[in-house]
Structure 1
Amino acid sequence: MEYKDVPTKADVERIAAFRQPGCVSIYLPTGTTPPEADRARIELKNHLASAVRALEALEVPRARIQAVHAEAERILDDRDFWRYQSRSLAVFLDGELAETFRLPNRLGTSCEVADRFYVKPLLRALTFPQTALILALAGNSVRLLHLTPDRPPERVDVPGMPKDVAAAVGLTSVSGRSPDGRIQGSEGQKVRMLEYVQAIERALHPLLANSTEPLILAAAEPLVGIFRGAGEHPRLVPEVIAGNPEDKTDEELATAARGVLDRLYAGKVAELRETYESRIASGTALVDLSDIARAATFGAVESLIIDIDRRVPGSVDETTGAITLAPEDEPGDYGVVDEILRRALGSKAKVYALRADDVPGGGAAAAAVRFPV
């Protein structure tokens, strides 16, 4: 059994590509306290019973139904898993695949059974993961914190991390230090700080090289400028938590970092809207759902913005991309937007799940295209 906290784009693409009878997609709100986890566990058990009935109604082979039930029971019985939850839980089962994702976003409850998985709710966590690394950097201390949406910040133990400037440059208590351990004198101070920052970067490199999370710096000048100038930091957030981080607790740094992330994401949304509006004006972006469905069918979608909350009942023709609208959702039919999303993911398009007010054109979706269709 594979448990993940936040899906990667590759995870979503892989799950969206499954096509066979008996795919079960379950979403439910959870929480970080034991009573919340117990309620979520009971809700998942109820969803499982509904899924089994739906699978039987669809005449899915009995062996596959039993395999789905067995996989779900393993999740229900895993006490360690239920001990650590986030805001929502996504479960995907088909008798061969069994995956869960503990999501930082608050999602509604649903149980869907069809010939494919329901992936649209996953996209919000992928668009705005609400996780980050915080580097609290001062002359006399350094700490790395991991920020997640619902848990207290966790200190990350980094092998080889110097504890302060003096340790990084090999100073002793009788070599240029005052009784309280602070380096004295301005001459050479920035050189020592640079050596300190370089030592920190060497220690952080193995961790940051494999991380996809934003890096938020908490520091005061001149360490801010020295850190920024000391090397490449592709995931370093422009905004800094200013001031001496030694004056802030881990929780205070986490609160400040969440504000930084909110402003970072708001800026990204504004930039995305501006880019799309320009492309719509030039004819290289689409807002009509019929045009977007056709472009997605032929692999022309370069990036896609969807309204995370809106469902458009209907279907999309497998070969032409033509839309057939329906008055309401049919059992096993996830609608037009989710099918457009699935096809766009299949052609490696970038996908953004936003709220209605942020979707360019005001419709259910907008798409930038690689070529006209």
Structure 2
Amino acid sequence: MLYVDIPSREEFLLLSDVRSDACVTIYIETSPLHQELATSKIQLGNFIKDALLQLEAAHFDKRRLALLEEQLYSVLDDPSFWDLHAYSLAILATPDSIRTYRLANVIPNQLHVSERFYLKPLLRALTFPHSAYILALSENQARVIEFFADVPAEEMNVANMPANVLEAVGKASLNVQKYGGVDDKVRLAQYTRQIDHALRPIFAQHDYPLILVSAEPLASIYRATNTLSNLVDETLFTNAEHIGTSELVKMVRPIMDKYYQTQLDALKPLFELRSGQRRVTTDLSDAARFATLGAIDLLLIDIDSNIPGTINEQGIITFAEKSDITTYGVIDEIVRLALATGARVMAVRQQDLPAGKSLHAILRYAL
């Protein structure tokens, strides 16, 4: 089981607005297995020492430095904190506060010290939160499992959803594979239609994907009666009656990854269309200027790219040779400006962007 707690979009914006005399951002690779966390704790201890040394070298106020040290070690030295983890840990600390987030995606170990937090890696968790519903369906059992990013997976009690085909249609035995009768198929369709109706209120409130786990012929019958746009195209073909909740979540995660990649692939024709309308840019300087003007509609950024510098109020970038406490990631700032003006932002891998580019933006109007 993964234990994760990612920030919401609103919380991300609040974090992006934080300014302090010292903002320490740490990302650590972790593991759901408690016995494998020793390496993560050693790495965190090394990053804490490195951050404090950087600030000492910059003649940082000693009293403020002591407060920051206390905040950081409050995480490292807390045994209960290390009980439950996922695949990455984000730590955001100032001398006055500290926040931590456990993430389902793997983020390489890294340390950043600046006057603001380095938040771009968190965007991957917001872009693809690995949150979904599973419909584990058989003639004898219908289960809905939710695995949100911020709570452990659990089976739901869905109002008005039949527990099995017998409850739905009142027939004791339906064996389509053996008999293949039209009457049996009609009753199975009644069963799946009742399930579809019961699920509608859930997906009226959430847009998370729904993954079907079922064997044939019931899987095809369910898809024929489904009206939910959230249903993922791929099915996990297996009888889930004797598969536990945690194991089902592990089994569907590859389907989730394919689903997210399909979403990215679907954006390529849109970028081609907008490019012909002169509404696309891959230039950092142009993107900074347009973000300042509130002109970005959709922004894809390379999650692994970190380009130090600053951006002034007119959106002009001053690049820096290396990161220090006076600079920050300029892509982070472009993201902050774009989000603040209602843009959709997605953190992706380099292969999902034009070759050699750190971002790809669709504008609200022509250049």
**Cα distance, 1:332–1:138 mapped onto 2, change above 3 Å:** farther
1:291 paired residue among 252, 277, 286 = 286
1:325 paired residue among 304, 314, 319 = 319
**Do 1:287 and 1:361's aligned partners in 2 also have CA atoms closer than 8 Å?**
no
Aligned residue for 1:371, secondary structure, equals: coil
**Cα distance, 1:178–1:269 mapped onto 2, change above 3 Å:** closer
> Residue type of the partner of 1:291?
D
**Cα distance, 1:276–1:46 mapped onto 2, change above 3 Å:** same
Taking the TM superposition and a 5 Å limit, the aligned residue runs for 1:180-259 are: 189=184, 192-193=187-188, 196-197=191-192, 200=195, 211=206, 213-220=208-215, 223-224=218-219, 227-228=222-223, 232-242=227-237, 244-246=239-241, 253-254=248-249, 256-259=251-254
1:311 paired residue among 306, 324, 346 = 306
Residue equivalent to 2:267: 272
**Pairing 1:281–2:276 present:** yes
**Do 1:273 and 1:360's aligned partners in 2 also have CA atoms closer than 8 Å?**
no
List gaps (5 residues or longer) in structure 1: none
CA distance in 2, matches of 1:129, 1:115: 28
| Cα shift readout 1:105-154 (whole Å, capped 9, x = no counterpart) | 222222222111101111222223334322111111123345689xxx95
CA distance in 2, matches of 1:35, 1:301: 45
**Pairing 1:94–2:89 present:** no
**Cα distance, 1:70–1:313 mapped onto 2, change above 3 Å:** closer
Aligned residue for 1:238, secondary structure, equals: strand
Q: How far has the Cα of 1:284 moved from its partner?
A: 0.5
CA distance in 1, matches of 2:41, 2:247: 32
CA distance in 2, matches of 1:94, 1:372: 41
CA distance in 1, matches of 2:68, 2:76: 12
CA distance in 1, matches of 2:145, 2:217: 21
> Residue type of the partner of 1:342?
R
| Cα shift readout 1:282-306 (whole Å, capped 9, x = no counterpart) | 2001112221111112111111111
> Residue type of the partner of 1:324?
T
Q: How far has the Cα of 1:87 moved from its partner?
A: 1.1
CA distance in 1, matches of 2:284, 2:63: 39
**Cα distance, 1:55–1:347 mapped onto 2, change above 3 Å:** farther
CA distance in 1, matches of 2:80, 2:194: 37
Deviates more, 1:278-287 or 1:189-198: 189-198
Residue equivalent to 2:255: 260
The size of the alignment, in residue pairs, is: 361
CA distance in 1, matches of 2:321, 2:185: 69
After superposition, the CA RMSD in angstroms is 3.6
CA distance in 2, matches of 1:70, 1:220: 55
List gaps (5 residues or longer) in structure 2: none
**Cα distance, 1:232–1:20 mapped onto 2, change above 3 Å:** farther
CA distance in 2, matches of 1:329, 1:74: 26
> Residue type of the partner of 1:274?
P
Aligned residue for 1:237, secondary structure, equals: strand
CA distance in 1, matches of 2:5, 2:237: 30
Aligned residue for 2:318, secondary structure, equals: strand
Residue equivalent to 1:335: 329
**Pairing 1:42–2:45 present:** no
CA distance in 2, matches of 1:200, 1:68: 53
CA distance in 2, matches of 1:42, 1:207: 43
Aligned residue for 2:232, secondary structure, equals: coil
> Residue type of the partner of 1:297?
T
1:354 paired residue among 336, 348, 356 = 348
CA distance in 2, matches of 1:48, 1:285: 41
**Do 2:113 and 2:324's aligned partners in 1 also have CA atoms closer than 8 Å?**
no
Q: Calculate the TM-score normalised by the size of structure 1.
A: 0.80
CA distance in 1, matches of 2:99, 2:192: 40
CA distance in 2, matches of 1:188, 1:68: 71
CA distance in 2, matches of 1:361, 1:178: 58
**Cα distance, 1:259–1:42 mapped onto 2, change above 3 Å:** closer
**Do 1:121 and 1:308's aligned partners in 2 also have CA atoms closer than 8 Å?**
yes
Residue equivalent to 2:15: 15
**Cα distance, 1:71–1:203 mapped onto 2, change above 3 Å:** farther
CA distance in 2, matches of 1:125, 1:144: 23
| Cα shift readout 1:213-239 (whole Å, capped 9, x = no counterpart) | 321012346644664566653432122
CA distance in 2, matches of 1:179, 1:352: 46
**Cα distance, 1:59–1:266 mapped onto 2, change above 3 Å:** same
> Residue type of the partner of 1:356?
Q
Q: Calculate the TM-score normalised by the size of structure 2.
A: 0.82
Q: How far has the Cα of 1:247 moved from its partner?
A: 8.0
Aligned residue for 1:218, secondary structure, equals: strand
**Do 1:276 and 1:360's aligned partners in 2 also have CA atoms closer than 8 Å?**
no
CA distance in 1, matches of 2:203, 2:60: 46
Q: How far has the Cα of 1:72 moved from its partner?
A: 3.1
Deviates more, 1:33-42 or 1:70-79: 70-79
**Do 2:90 and 2:100's aligned partners in 1 also have CA atoms closer than 8 Å?**
yes
